[in-house]
Amino acid sequence: MKKLIFIAAILYGSFVNAQPLIEQESLVKWLTFKEATELNKKQERPIMIDIYTDWCGWCKRMMATTFSDPNLSAYINNNFYPVRFNAETFDTHEWMGETYVNKGLGNRPTHELAIKLLTGKLSYPSIVFVANNYQFNMLAAGYMEARRFEPVLIYVRESVFLTSDLESFRTNFNRTYYEPDTLPPPVVNSYTIEEAVNNNEKRKRKTMVYINSDWCVSCKVMANSSLLDTAIVNRMNNKFWYVPFNAATKDTVHFAGSSFGLLPNGINGFAFAMTNNSLTLPTTVIFNEDMRIIGVIPRYLPAVFLKKILDYYTSNAYLTVKWDDYQKSTPN
């Protein structure tokens, strides 16, 4: 299963005391801080900083196991700028316009940059993620085997951090890929966009289009968690025509007098048309009863967030109240 997860995810990028181990070369293609920041200027990606020491046994173990996993390392190489940083080096490093050194203080002198990145919490190994144009920083401390590290990487790379906390996403990720529920999920009625239009002519409802793809991991997690939540399924079956739409479908889509097919970039034109040429996966699009778009909500949506969004539109609160005000005024 892990292999399948990362084969799909790599396509998206092309769009804790142990005995010391003998350290081996990982399959991750490590960069310097300078190389990572220069590459990020040309093509923005999350920067992943592995902070270690020479005496840290768990650091060696993570290098020999997690960072030597072929599927996980391939995903990192295709979706991140990975930097490996010795917290006790005496090299001078530049980071975000500042110069940092090791002043040689104490029995085990720690580099100034390690202190800054770890906010003084000197625990090894520690992985620091920097994303969203340096606006997002996250520390993942301690040894993590590949399976536990997978959802962390997806959480950062697919910007799930914008809408969910890590542990909730990790739980839903594991349920999707490793620990599926034994009970049958609630059934949500789904339609093509053409069927939704035809149904709407007979029975007026709002329509929800869920734009996803086979290679988007957070899309699958959302489909197997939020979109299987009983309360959400009931709302969609009673209030919406629900359209799950694969953004990479080769089928021709007919909508509002236009036809949309697969573009040279591998994305169906309908997905771009519904998002005003600003497609992020996943994206939830809400139409009113006249099949006009009234909401475009990008990225992974946890169940509690999606419930509130559906209530916002089904109650027609969107007509008089801004979303931010509605979100503040209504309990979860």
Structure confidence by residue, pLDDT tens digits, 6-54: 555 555 554 433 333 334 568 999 999 999 999 999 999 999 999 999 9
**Cβ contact 220:176 at 8 Å:** yes
Is the peptide bond preceding residue 180 cis, with omega within 30 degrees of 0?
no
CA atoms within 13 A on the CB side of 212: 20
- Predicted model pTM: 0.88
Q: Show the tokens assigned to 281.
A: 């996966």
**pLDDT for residue 128:** 98
Distances, alpha carbon 29 to alpha carbons 7, 35, 158, 250, 263, in Å: 18, 12, 21, 35, 32
CA atoms within 13 A on the CB side of 240: 31
Q: Show the tokens assigned to 235.
A: 């709302």
* CA quadruple 204, 210, 211, 213: dihedral sign: negative
**Cβ contact 211:271 at 8 Å:** yes
**pLDDT for residue 21:** 35
**pLDDT for residue 67:** 97
**Cβ contact 284:163 at 8 Å:** no
**Residue linked to tokens 């996803």:** 212
What's the mean pLDDT in 186-209? Answer: 97
Percentage of the chain modeled with pLDDT above 90: 87
Residue 293 has pLDDT above 50, yes or no: yes
